[in-house]
Chain A
Amino acid sequence: KNEVEQSPQNLTAQEGEFITINCSYSVGISALHWLQQHPGGGIVSLFMLSSGKKKHGRLIATINIQEKHSSLHITASHPRDSAVYICAGLLSNTGNQFYFGTGTSLTVIP
């Protein structure tokens, strides 16, 4: 069992749709990162959360510490949002090691 679970694994949306990607984890968390990996393979950091909510442009990330759950939302999705989205958690009992979800592959169709 993965310490960090993501859903869905794959997601196809029409341009303009509101998108939600979910991340859940098994134990307490010190920090959670949302990452974006483009088809070329490069990985870019989107957000770091330890509580509450953050917003950057059309991207919104939330975390619920009690429910051990985080979500990444994309409003007004665009084909350029097509990528793999990965959550990574620094779990409270794992020292300096981040645990990564397996990623959500998002395709936005024009």
Chain B
Amino acid sequence: NAGVTQTPKFRILKIGQSMTLQCAQDMNHNYMYWYRQDPGMGLKLIYYSVGAGITDKGEVPNGYNVSRSTTEDFPLRLELAAPSQTSVYFCASSSSRTGGEKLFFGSGTQLSVL
């Protein structure tokens, strides 16, 4: 099993550009999440999904969009990138609402918006 695969690992964007962060899991998990991690702060939830076709906003959704057309994939779209979106992004998945025995994380994407 590959677990959670997240791409790219690094990206530099100019203000106003757009991009999609890719996330895929091969564990047949219904629950998938996108988080951002800023220095000195806990991970903050951007969006989550409880299954294909079902997504919902988290704590910090502004400036982002998601879709979940399949169980495996949960891409995060940044529209009109702003410096405030400079962060490390993590995709995660789990087998249940409580996270099951483990939460599974991707390796992270370090994004800089200049």
Residues of A that sit less than 8 Å from B by CB: 2, 4, 30-31, 33, 35, 41-45, 48, 50, 86, 88, 90, 96-103
Contacts and interface: CB of A to CB of B under 8 A. Distances in A.
Contact of B58 (A30, A31, A33, A97): A97
Interface of B: 31, 33, 35, 40-45, 48, 50, 56, 58-59, 88, 90, 92, 97-105, 107-108, 110
B42 A33 contact: no
Contacts of A43: 90, 92, 105, 108
A39 to B, nearest CB: 12
Given A48-B101, A102-B40, 9 more contacts: A41-B107, A41-B108, A42-B108, A43-B105, A50-B98, A86-B43, A88-B43, A90-B98, A97-B48
Could you say which of A2, A30, A35, A96 has the most chain B C-beta atoms within 10 Å of its C-beta? A96
Given A42-B108, A45-B103, A88-B103, A96 B97 contact: yes
Given A41-B108, A43-B90, A48 B102 contact: yes
Given A43-B105, A96-B31, A31 B99 contact: yes
Contact of A96 (B35, B56, B105): B56
Contact of B100 (A4, A48, A98): A48
A9 to B, nearest CB: 9
Nearest to B49: A96
A100 B100 contact: no
Nearest to B59: A97
